[in-house]
Amino acid sequence: MYKPAPPRPKKTNICRSRTGCKTCRQRRKKCDERKPCGLCMRLGVACEQISQTFEFRSVLIPSRSLKAGLRSFTSPCVSNPPSNTTVAGTSINLAPLSTPQQKTSDVVEFYMSIWRLHCLPALNTAFKSMDTIRGQSSLITDTMATLAASRMSRKLPQRRLFITSDSPEFCFRPDSGHEAFSSELYGSALRRMSCWRSENFASNPMLAFATLVLFCYVESSMGYFKGFYVHSHGIEELLRKSADRIFPHGAGLLAAWVEIKMQNWWRRAYFGVPEFFQDYPTPLLCPELQFVSNTGSGRTATILWILCESHRLNTAALIACWARPGKSRQMREKTVSTFVDNAAPTSEQPSISSEIMARIKRYSQKLDEWRAYVPSLIEIEANLNRPKLFDLKAPEDEALYFPSHQSAMNMAYYVVARVMHCAGPLQTFASASVHNIDDEYEEIEAWIFVLLRIAAGISWEDCVCLNAYTIGFAGLLLTCALSSRSLKTGLWIQEWLETRLGRDGIEEGNFPVFQILDAVRLVNRERRNGLDVVALFQTVDDGGGKGKFGSYSSQLISSMLVYGRCRSTGELASYHVSTEGLVAPR
């Protein structure tokens, strides 16, 4: 009946939108959105269009875990702390730096306080004079802060949300907040270093040397062996070209590099493949750098070097006893126990053993020289009657105490080096006989008992805090568990590790304690079954793993290659064994 209503007319003919020109927006006028618009044409000005753009910025925001970790820390092993801290287990107030701002300088300043508090006590004394070098370039400061952030991330484990195993490897991870800051700072330092040219290294070799040594420590802390080898090779090349300008002032940093280099070798030895020890004629330290043993700051570096060389040669001798032409590969592929005849060809086996034993003897002489230069250590010698009294006297009854943690560790390194120099067990492997085997093991068992006495008196808290950049005590105990024939010794070591792991410290000596504990459990399990495990290797060469970012372990080991000997017959065995079932239930 009615026609449709006419359309409602617009009040204006101007198109409403949010894309008007800049002039119309400033004058608060409606823009017709022409190119150019009518208003700009009347005013005679340029019509500037506004386009939506995205702007990326780097924003630094402290994570929740970082804020929680900055409020208080506990450290029972700190020397010369800042004035606003207390030690001996009490909380440490870091209120002035408890909330880092978004400025990178504030974050670096915070981690430099962590460097002085948690890193310096565990590092070589040469790092105490790093402030004189750090003033030459902020690159040194960033790298020091990187190492401090990495250290804090590993000292503050976080429980994982999804737990797939009872092993601490799958239950905990390093603090993600500190770990993220460490990665950011390290990336910044690497970008600066990548801009250097050959003339930069030539003009200031001492600065380059200090930077590369710090890089080695960072890579070692993260368990990235490939990166460590790159920086370590760079140090060797730099020393070949500019040694006259680096020494004698850089002798302390050289000792620090040797210490971390030996720690990395030890971590690759546990657990690597047998081929890792094949190149035994090549020393771990080139002869041109072995003068570090004559420096005052190189005492610890020297004993670590002697220990690792002795361990390398001892293991090479063991592998030579198991190596058989045409059989070694077949045995590695088998997954069941296989006992083999030890009748080695007389044209090969004696020559290999004699050459290795001659090298071991030379390092035994070097060990005597080192002991003569360290008169401050208490006199300890192996008493051959002590192992016979092991049933009557526990190591706790004769615990050894030292004036400092460093003295205790140096003596422990010395004792394990003596274990590696004992020739009696190697002779039994060559003959594949158990006749008078207890007499052949008498000396080595006596030295192992000395190490157990040191373990009974040493502070585990000090081991966790101060062994971060050196070979850990737990790793020394694993070596002795493999070298001993006593089940009581292995069980004592297993109980010692289980107690410490349950108390505190997932990582010691930059190595996961639970991985060492699993290996000791394997040794004891096989010994109960009548087989002495003398060496453990991986079945696949993983190069040390893929690093420890987000984890306390760089390796995922599901099976191991075992070199063992039958306790009743003396026959040698080589077989694969699964690592499943070694974790004790929670």
pLDDT tens track, the chain, 586 positions:
577 777 776 666 555 566 788 888 888 888 888 888 888 888 888 888 776 554 555 544 444 444 444 443 333 343 333 334 333 332 333 333 333 444 678 889 999 999 999 999 999 999 998 888 888 888 999 999 999 999 999 998 888 776 655 555 667 889 999 999 999 999 999 998 888 888 888 889 999 999 999 999 999 999 999 999 999 999 999 999 999 999 888 899 999 999 999 999 999 998 889 999 988 888 999 888 887 766 667 889 999 999 999 999 999 999 988 875 433 333 333 333 333 344 444 444 444 578 889 999 999 999 999 998 887 676 676 665 555 555 557 899 889 999 999 999 999 999 999 999 998 888 888 777 777 888 889 999 999 999 999 999 999 999 999 999 999 999 999 999 999 999 999 999 999 999 998 777 789 999 999 999 999 999 999 999 999 999 999 988 888 888 888 888 878 887 889 999 999 888 888 999 887 755 443 3
Residue 583 belongs to a domain: no
Which segments within 65-130 are labelled E, that is strand?
72-74, 91-93
How much is the pLDDT for 171? 78
Contact 465, 87 (CB under 8 A): no
Same domain, 160 and 81: yes
In a domain, 418, yes or no: yes
Whether residues 29 and 103 fall in one domain = no
Backbone angles phi, psi at 302, to 5 degrees: -65, -45
> Considering its fold, how many domains does the chain have in total?
3
Report how far residue 583's alpha carbon sits from residue 515's, in angstroms, rounded to the nearest whole number.
Answer: 10
The reported pLDDT for the residue numbered 166 is 59
Helix (H) or strand (E) holding 21: none
On whether residue 153 sits in a domain, the answer given is yes
> Do 372 and 507 belong to one domain?
yes
pTM above 0.85, yes or no: no
Task: Based on the fold, state whether residues 364 and 218 are members of the same structural domain.
Answer: no
Q: Are 217 and 159 within one domain?
A: yes
Structural domain that includes position 220: 64-275
pLDDT of residue 53: 55
Exposed/middle/buried for 38, CB within 10 Å: 0-12, 13-18, 19+?
middle
Q: Rounded to the nearest 10 degrees, what angle do helices 104-114 and 138-155 cross at?
A: 60
- Domain membership of residue 251 (yes or no) is yes
Kindly give the residue spans of alpha helices, DSSP state H, lying in 374-512: 405-421, 424-431, 437-440, 442-457, 460-466, 473-483, 487-503
Q: Are residues 244 and 308 in the same domain?
A: no
Last residue of a domain, one of 9, 39, 56: 56
Q: Give dist(CA 312, CA 278) in Å, integer.
A: 9
Classify burial at 558, counting beta carbons within 10 Å of its beta carbon; exposed 0-12, middle 13-18, buried 19 or more.
exposed
Q: Are residues 153 and 213 in the same domain?
A: yes
Same domain, 84 and 200: yes
In a domain, 394, yes or no: yes
Residue 47 one-letter amino acid: C
Are residues 180 and 266 both part of a single domain? yes
Is the domain of 449 the same as that of 465? yes
Residue 344's H or E segment, with its range, is none
Instruction: Check whether residue 150 and residue 248 sit in a common domain.
Output: yes
User: Is 585 within the bounds of a domain?
Assistant: no
491 located within any domain:
yes
Enumerate the β-bridge partners of residue 536: 562
- Cα separation, 66 vs 76, in Å, equals 21
How confident is the model at residue 382, as a pLDDT? 61
The CATH number of whichever domain residue 3 belongs to comes to 4.10.240
- The reply to whether 455 and 571 lie within a common domain is yes
Is 472 inside any structural domain?
yes
